[in-house]
Amino acid sequence: MGVPAFVDARRSIRAFTHDAVPRAVLDAVVEAACVAPAPHHSRPWRWVVVDTDAGKAALAHGMGERWRTDLAGDGVEPARVDELVAASHEKITGAPAIVLGCLTWDGLDRYPDEARQHAEWGMALLSLGAAVENLMLAAADAGYASCWVAAPIFCPEDTRDALALPIDWLPHAMVLVGRADPAYAGRARPPVPLEDLRAHR
């Protein structure tokens, strides 16, 4: 049977044309995200569409400064730190649109012990992943390219504060969206070694 064509069609595209993404398209992809499965019929995610120059600059600055501190703490050479942070800044400010996926505790269960509390948050994170995949599939279906960028999961509070989001909106995923640069050539997708990746019992 193979992989359905609409699933196979989504690839991570890291270079975009300068075309803006209409807000109607961004609303449609966020709506697709919001029909993802989630624990207890909750909707623990919030979505922030960042498509203004000011928003992108604030996001790039907030995450960039945090990354600068982390890299310096890791002992990375100052010149290399500048280079990495500048590249990250360019990636964010150069994207036509960005959708940030945030997690909240809205609708989630609370437990008195840390282990179950951690598992509950893990469920919400899994759900956010499903929602982000929905978002990217919907973008691909509408003719838009996207790329999931991990950065906010390393600094949710800094990302939140950079955009003055509500205190309980914690950004965990960042998706760049735009029209694919026709010159961009991604890696070929390797075949799926099903025999290695799944088992039967």
Ligand X SMILES: Cc1cc2nc3c(=O)[nH]c(=O)nc-3n(C[C@H](O)[C@H](O)[C@H](O)COP(=O)(O)O)c2cc1C
Whether residue 98 contacts residue 20, with contact meaning beta carbons closer than 8 Å, is answered with: no
Residue 138 neighbours by CB under 8 Å, 6+ apart: 28, 29, 31, 32, 33
Enter the tokens of residue 4. Answer: 């359905």
Residue count of the chain, please give it.
Answer: 201
Q: How far is the CB of 111 from ligand X (least distance, A)?
A: 26
- Using the minimum distance from each CB to ligand X, give the nearer residue, 108 or 149: 149
What is the spatial distance between Cα 177 and Cα 16, in angstroms, rounded to a whole number? 8
Q: How far is the CB of 12 from ligand X (least distance, A)?
A: 3
- Using the minimum distance from each CB to ligand X, give the nearer residue, 30 or 149: 149
Q: Give contact residues for ligand X (rule: CB under 6 A).
A: 11-12, 14, 147-150, 186, 189
Q: How far is the CB of 30 from ligand X (least distance, A)?
A: 18
The dihedral built from the CA positions of residue 91, 165, 162 and 36, taken in this order, carries a sign that is negative
- Using the minimum distance from each CB to ligand X, give the nearer residue, 11 or 43: 11
- Using the minimum distance from each CB to ligand X, give the nearer residue, 6 or 54: 6
- Using the minimum distance from each CB to ligand X, give the nearer residue, 188 or 201: 188
Whether residue 93 contacts residue 176, with contact meaning beta carbons closer than 8 Å, is answered with: no
What is the spatial distance between Cα 69 and Cα 51, in angstroms, rounded to a whole number? 26
Q: How far is the CB of 71 from ligand X (least distance, A)?
A: 15
Q: How far is the CB of 131 from ligand X (least distance, A)?
A: 12
Cα 201 to chain centroid, rounded: 35
